[in-house]
Amino acid sequence: MAAAKRHSPEALGILNDEALAGAGAATLMRTLGPVIAARLEYFSQALEDAPADLGTLLDLRAKFATIRNLQREFRNQMLRGGEAAVELEAQYRQ
């Protein structure tokens, strides 16, 4: 196993912040995940029922994109936070 890279105190603080943000994002996804899924389902049904009107379709597209972007940001933060937590754990095992 390769030795863990030594980090400066500032880098450790940044890693700690990333790990905390990842934990927060995971908590939000556990809490809001069902709400987000319900909203996506609602917008999907609204898209099926929407008239062939460009304004309505663009409005639904914007709503879909907003919800999907939030979901993507939560997932990315969870991933970065998990990686930071692993790196912190390796640092403290030395």
pTM for this predicted structure: 0.75
Report how far residue 21's alpha carbon sits from residue 66's, in angstroms, rounded to the nearest whole number. 20
Q: Note the residue count of the chain.
A: 94
Q: Who wins on pLDDT, 28 or 92?
A: 28
> Rounded to an integer, what distance in angstroms lies between the CA atom of residue 6 and that of residue 63?
44
**pLDDT tens digits, one per residue of 14-62:** 888 899 999 999 999 999 999 999 999 998 898 888 888 888 889 988 9
pLDDT for res 1: 41
What is the Cα–Cα distance from 30 to 28, expressed in whole angstroms? 5
Domain assignments of the chain as residue spans, ordered by start: 9-93
Provide the percentage of residues in the chain whose pLDDT is more than 90. Answer: 45
Question: Does residue 2 register a pLDDT over 80?
Answer: no
Which uninterrupted H or E stretch holds 67? helix 54-93
